[in-house]
Amino acid sequence: MNDTIASSSQTSAPEMQRFASLGLAAAADAIRGGEMTSEAYATALLRQARSHADLNAFITIDGDAVLEAAKNADKARSAGAEAPLLGVPIGVKDSYLTTGLPTSIGLDRLAHFIPTEDADAVRAIKEAGALVFGKNNLVEMSYGLTGHNERYGQVKNPRAHDRVTGGSSSGSAASVAAGIVPASLGGDTVGSIRVPASLCGVVGFKPTTGRWPRNGVAPISHTLDTTGVFARSVEDCILLDQVVTGEQAAEPVERDSNLTGARLAFAPRQFLGLVDSEVENRFREVVRRLQDAGAEVFEIDLGEDFNALIQTTTWGIFAHETQGAISEFLRLHNIPTTFEAIYEGLKPQLRQAWEHIVLPGGAGATSVEAYQTALNVSRPEIQRRLNRAFVTRGALAILQPTTPCTAPSIEEQGEFHIAGQEVSNLALANHTLSASSVGLPGISLPAGMSRAGLPIGLELDAPLASDRALLKLARQIEAVLGTQPPTL
């Protein structure tokens, strides 16, 4: 990793810490208003990256390039530029193509592949004045939920270094939680933004599938893949959403904790059946706090077979589309490898998983008939059941604990216990699968800490294309619950 750090004799250690604690919107305002320079801010973040290098949150940081870009941003501001993200460094998951910076997708064989184009979302933040701070570590091919990478190292949770971050956007979550960057672009297919956001204590926003551009981002499933963002506040997610979608800014959303009139649903039978007691207790306390703030929170039942339905549907689509999605991506973007070569080079446990569920003829592969049933029968049925809450009963969102437990230990990430039951790490996505199955927007908010000091997340899932309403609601709920400061 090239992580050249430039010293700044004019910036004190307390100022460095203050810079590292800034959120995205606050940093953009401070640079635009002349309260700090992009160069001083970038210098502080590069130092923060060095002090947290043991987290393995980044695969690539070109410190010299970051500082040069920051100096150019300061010159642009002096000349009158007012771009919304001018001079603000942002992390980017290493599944996004980035001009001039390697894009490895977590693979050793692509360690030195340097694209000649930017993913559309990267282009959008650059056009808004942002700097690409570096490429975040991730699970190989975004295929995993804990943050383990054979080549680039296990990403460690900034809240407790012996714990996983969640995945696959592991480095993105860790870098925001550690104050290295104010925000990072990630990807979410079955929970790869919301799971690590929950385990690391940051905000993770998954837009409605298709709302944010996916071109230039290594895929898993064209039906389920979504690009999105990690940040320290909902305000920062609102700003990134406006930049990436190009939509006109909505009316300013006040940080108002009054939830009077907000109808919220939760499904205890589906989302509290297999959760650690501490997570359930915290969730029920959050529900009480939202009710005290004026919200009307009511219970729903999505059906005895709902969890089995979303598991079968979502994982079946996920695995069936992987080979075709990756092969097409490699071809379209002239990436110097093949699906077969990637498969042969995977770490043993992941290669075995692909052999079982991804390769045609694998013992666990989804047949064409089952895949069509998932798309044309099961997904509409899932949406119909969710609409009982959204349409029939007028819920703005469905609430649940984002993950059924706090971050498992790194040593036990293959198999661990939830509520006394041994599970695999796939269980970390038990609650995020619901929104993924039909493309709903979802957001994970910090909801407090366990007795051991580990973050607990609250997920809000909203109707299709109601992203702005979801973000407004999330900001109100955030005003009730508060945010989790970075680990400096």
- Provide mean pLDDT across the span 69-92: 98
Which residues touch 411 (CB under 8 Å, ≥6 apart)? 162
Q: How far is CA 32 from CA 10, 26, 119, 401, 459, in A?
A: 19, 10, 26, 37, 33
pLDDT tens profile 144-194? 999 999 999 999 999 999 999 999 999 999 999 999 999 999 999 999 999
Position 251 scores a pLDDT of 63
Percent of the chain with pLDDT over 90: 94
Burial of 305 (0-12, 13-18, 19+ CB in 10 A): exposed
Q: What are the structure tokens assigned to 178, written together?
A: 């550690």
Q: Does residue 291 sit in helix, strand or coil?
A: helix
Position 17 scores a pLDDT of 83
Give catalytic residue positions: 93, 168, 192
Position 331 scores a pLDDT of 98
Give the number of C-alpha atoms closer than 13 A to the C-alpha of residue 420, restricted to the C-beta side: 2
Position 134 scores a pLDDT of 98
Q: How many CB atoms within 10 Å of residue 52?
A: 24
- Provide mean pLDDT across the span 361-379: 97
Report residue 13's pLDDT band, with 50, 70 and 90 as the boundaries.
confident
Report residue 11's pLDDT band, with 50, 70 and 90 as the boundaries.
low
Position 6 scores a pLDDT of 37
Token look-up 């609250």 returns 458
The string of DSSP letters for 231-272 reads: ESSHHHHHHHHHHHH-PPP-S--------TT-EEEE-HHHHS
Q: Is pLDDT at 16 greater than 90 in this prediction?
A: no
Q: What are the structure tokens assigned to 427, written together?
A: 């269980």
Q: Is the peptide bond before 168 cis (omega within 30 degrees of 0)?
A: yes
Q: How far is CA 111 from CA 135, 138, 174, 232, in A?
A: 12, 13, 21, 30
Pairing of β 296-299 and β 263-266: parallel
Report residue 254's pLDDT band, with 50, 70 and 90 as the boundaries.
low
Q: In order of start, what are the domains of the chain with their CATH numbers? A: 13-481 (3.90.1300.10)
Range of weakest confidence among 18-22, 107-111, 312-316, 343-347: 18-22
Q: Is pLDDT at 5 greater than 90 in this prediction?
A: no
Position 256 scores a pLDDT of 82
Q: Does residue 118 sit in helix, strand or coil?
A: coil
Q: Is pLDDT at 7 greater than 50 in this prediction?
A: no
* Chain Cα centroid distance, residue 3: 24
Q: What are the structure tokens assigned to 86, written together?
A: 């001018």
Position 257 scores a pLDDT of 85
pLDDT tens profile 32-56? 999 999 999 999 999 999 999 999 9
Which residues touch 384 (CB under 8 Å, ≥6 apart)? none
Burial of 33 (0-12, 13-18, 19+ CB in 10 A): exposed
Report residue 4's pLDDT band, with 50, 70 and 90 as the boundaries.
very low
- Provide mean pLDDT across the span 88-101: 98
